[in-house]
């Protein structure tokens, strides 16, 4: 099976593959810190750059990461967090343990837009304690973006990169807010962030990439493919932006 873009980046040691990059993570963790969280659930941990920062703060982290390639890298880098392949492994067992054992916060960077948001938000509602925080760095589509183009870019980038560059549907700021409100969340913090801080593919020299390709032969064809397609302007300028936000699960 060919490697997905985030797996290739992971094998190169590149993380922070989300809107706003490392700066957005700092914003989110500073916001979460105010509530002194104890138990955190992380969706789409990748190679665990954010995971490591949360562990350094003494937080107890459970990470969800479906990619076996990335789970291996994460577990070798950081032995401390519990890492599972799917939310299914948590939903059920942890919730049945009772409200007092629910998570204080959930963080997802560059992942929520790719999922069935109404369904994931319902699940997160069950996993979070009342007043718990949902923190994310994610993608917002402009109100005037073309829904047919969005669906097509979603499908084509999913096929090429193994992960979609845009949501399946027109996920505008208004849609995000409606979905979050409907799932029982209230806004706490929000800030626009750049969509990409620096193209992930440009963060390593070709020498570093060639050395990595010697160790992992599946890397080279994937790197060449992503080089070819990665520079394409998939969406018209101004139709996508990033936002970092924290919402609170209301107590009602
Ligand atoms: C764009 S990457 C971001 C990774 C990491 N958060 C970062 O910022 O570098 C999206 C990540 O979400 C993971 N992912 C995909 N589907 C998921 C799901 N259903 N639940 C949790 N994570 C998922 C992918 O494997 C990938 O590691």
Q: Provide the residue-wise pLDDT of the chain in tens; the chain has 252 residues.
A: 789 999 999 999 999 999 999 999 999 999 999 999 999 999 999 999 999 999 999 999 999 999 999 999 999 999 777 899 999 998 765 555 455 579 999 999 999 999 999 999 999 999 999 999 999 999 999 999 999 999 999 999 999 999 999 999 999 999 999 999 999 999 999 999 998 766 776 778 888 888 888 888 888 888 888 888 877 889 999 999 999 999 999 976
- Inter-CA distances, 39 with 7, 35, 158, 202, Å: 27, 11, 32, 35
Number of the ligand 1 atom closest to the C-alpha atom of 7: 27
- Centroid of ligand 1 to alpha carbon of 130 (angstroms): 25
C-beta of 64 in contact with ligand 1 (< 6 A): yes
The helix (run of H) or strand (run of E) holding residue 206 is: helix 206-215
Look at residue 152 and tell me if it is in a domain.
no
Look at residue 113 and tell me if it is in a domain.
yes
CATH of the domain at 136: 3.40.50.150
Look at residue 97 and tell me if it is in a domain.
yes
C-beta of 138 in contact with ligand 1 (< 6 A): no
Look at residue 226 and tell me if it is in a domain.
no
Q: Please tell me the pTM assigned to this model.
A: 0.94
Give helix then strand counts, H and E, for the chain.
10, 7
C-beta of 66 in contact with ligand 1 (< 6 A): yes
C-beta of 52 in contact with ligand 1 (< 6 A): no
Question: How many structural domains compose the chain?
Answer: 1
Q: Which residues of 111-141 are buried (b: 16+ CB within 10 A; e: fewer)?
A: bbbbbebeebbebbbebbbeebbbbbbbbbb
- Inter-CA distances, 221 with 7, 113, 160, 211, 218, Å: 13, 27, 12, 14, 6
Look at residue 75 and tell me if it is in a domain.
yes
CB 141 within 8 A of CB 172: yes
Best of 1, 3, 6 for a ligand 1 pocket test (most atoms within 8 Å of beta carbon): 6
C-beta of 74 in contact with ligand 1 (< 6 A): no
- Centroid of ligand 1 to alpha carbon of 41 (angstroms): 13
Q: Which two tokens stand for residue 166?
A: 């845009």
Look at residue 99 and tell me if it is in a domain.
yes
Number of the ligand 1 atom closest to the C-alpha atom of 49: 9
Look at residue 161 and tell me if it is in a domain.
no
For 73, the domain range is 15-145+168-202+232-249
Q: Which two tokens stand for residue 137?
A: 């760095």
Look at residue 214 and tell me if it is in a domain.
no
Residues with Cβ within 8 Å of residue 183, at least 6 apart in sequence:
118, 121, 122, 124, 125
212: nearest Cα among 45, 21, 72, 10: 10
């Amino acid at each position: 099976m060919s490697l997905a873009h985030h797996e290739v980046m992971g094998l190169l040691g590149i993380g922070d593959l989300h809107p706003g990059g490392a700066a957005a993570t700092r914003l989110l963790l500073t916001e979460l810190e105010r509530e002194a969280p104890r138990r955190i659930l992380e969706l789409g941990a990748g190679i665990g750059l954010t995971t490591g920062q949360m562990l350094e703060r003494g937080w107890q982290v459970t990470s969800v990461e479906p990619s076996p390639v990335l789970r291996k890298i994460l577990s070798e880098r950081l032995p401390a967090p519990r890492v599972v392949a799917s939310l299914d492994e948590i939903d059920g067992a942890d919730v049945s343990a009772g409200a007092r054992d629910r998570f204080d916060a959930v963080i997802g960077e560059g992942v929520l837009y790719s999922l069935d948001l109404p369904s994931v938000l319902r699940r997160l509602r069950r996993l979070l304690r009342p007043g718990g925080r949902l923190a994310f760095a994610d993608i917002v589509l402009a109100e005037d973006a073309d829904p047919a183009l969005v669906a097509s870019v979603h499908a084509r980038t999913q096929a090429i990169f193994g992960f979609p560059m845009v949501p399946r549907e027109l996920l505008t700021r208004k849609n995000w807010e409606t979905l979050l409100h409907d799932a029982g969340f209230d806004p706490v913090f929000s800030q626009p962030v750049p969509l990409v801080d620096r193209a992930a593919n440009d963060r390593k020299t070709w020498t570093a990439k060639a050395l990595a390709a010697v160790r992992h032969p599946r890397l080279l064809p994937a790197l060449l493919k992503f080089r070819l397609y990665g520079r394409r302007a998939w969406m018209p300028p101004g139709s996508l932006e990033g936002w970092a936000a924290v919402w609170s699960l209301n107590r009602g």
